[in-house]
Amino acid sequence: MKFSLTFLLLFLSISAFGQKLEITHLTGNFYIFTTYHDLEGTPFPANGMYLVTDKGVAMFDTPWDETQFQPLLDSIQKRHNQKVVLCISTHFHADRTAGLEFYKSKDIKTFTSKPTDILSKKNGDKRAEFLFKKDTVFELGNYTFRTFYPGKGHSPDNIVILFDKEKIIYGGCFIKSTDNDNIGNLSDANPKAWLKSAKKLMDVFPNPQFVIPGHFGWSSNKSVEHTLKIIQEYLK
């Protein structure tokens, strides 16, 4: 995996200072948490998101670094005086599912799609307590959001989470950040299908205000288009 000099220096700085958990306010009651996992000797960032409601906190994906499972819960409790009550993972890789069984042990309702559970079981990754078989609408407190399967891409099972009212796409690893031009891990990917799936997401959710990728920054709302560009360049 290739890294730009800027990101390499960033990672070395993070490693030197031991920083492993960052929480960044996105908008309203939405927050991004970023944890770092040692990947081939280099700390590599993974983004998740959480939403604070009047009935508890919904978490989308788990920290990759197991040392941050409990600190994230503690930070959320301290910041918002709320407990995490549910967690949805967007595909079977460990940067999305590593904390599922830990959070289940804390009486948090954990969810994945049925295809994710099948792959998690096959590959020895952590599994959720509850499964959904198709695109599903969730309601928690004063918020509504939905899972959406656009088709195969980064992995056969990758889903995104859509917040229609707030115009937010939580994309997980299906979406590539505009901060990074590398297509990333293709061990379970289908680039040709990914191209079609990304176009489908654009048709279903054409004008997002925020798009959150699984890795790197989210300052641009054009990450779906950027994902298309990266895939097209890879397929040339």
pLDDT in tens, the chain (236 residues): 333 433 343 444 334 334 589 999 999 999 999 999 988 888 999 999 999 999 999 999 999 999 999 999 999 999 999 999 999 999 999 999 999 999 999 999 999 999 999 999 999 999 999 999 999 999 999 999 999 999 999 999 999 999 999 999 999 999 999 999 999 999 999 999 999 999 999 999 999 999 999 999 999 999 999 999 999 999 99
Token pair 């042990």: residue = 105
Whether 70 maps to a domain, the answer reads: yes
Whether 74 maps to a domain, the answer reads: yes
User: How far apart are the C-alpha atoms of 108 and 77, rounded to whole Å?
Assistant: 14
The whole-number pLDDT of residue 6 equals 36
Whether 85 maps to a domain, the answer reads: yes
Q: Which two tokens stand for residue 3?
A: 């890294």
Q: Which two tokens stand for residue 12?
A: 């070395």
Q: Are 69 and 102 in contact (CB under 8 A)?
A: yes
Identify the domain containing residue 24 by its residue range: 5-172
Whether 203 maps to a domain, the answer reads: no
Q: Which residue stretches of the chain are H helix?
A: 5-17, 69-80, 94-97, 100-105, 114-123, 191-204, 223-235
Whether 219 maps to a domain, the answer reads: no
Whether 24 maps to a domain, the answer reads: yes
Total domains in the chain come to 1
User: How far apart are the C-alpha atoms of 223 and 227, rounded to whole Å?
Assistant: 6
Q: What's the number of CA atoms in the CB half-sphere (13 Å) around residue 172?
A: 30
Q: Cα 145–188–229 angle (5° rounding)?
A: 70
The whole-number pLDDT of residue 19 equals 59
Whether 198 maps to a domain, the answer reads: no
Q: Are 146 and 135 in contact (CB under 8 A)?
A: yes
CATH of the domain at 161: 3.60.15.10
Q: Which of 115, 106, 107, 170 is nearest to 138 (CA)?
A: 170
Whether 201 maps to a domain, the answer reads: no
Q: Are 191 and 228 in contact (CB under 8 A)?
A: no
pTM of the predicted model as reported, rounded to 2 decimal places = 0.91
The whole-number pLDDT of residue 39 equals 83
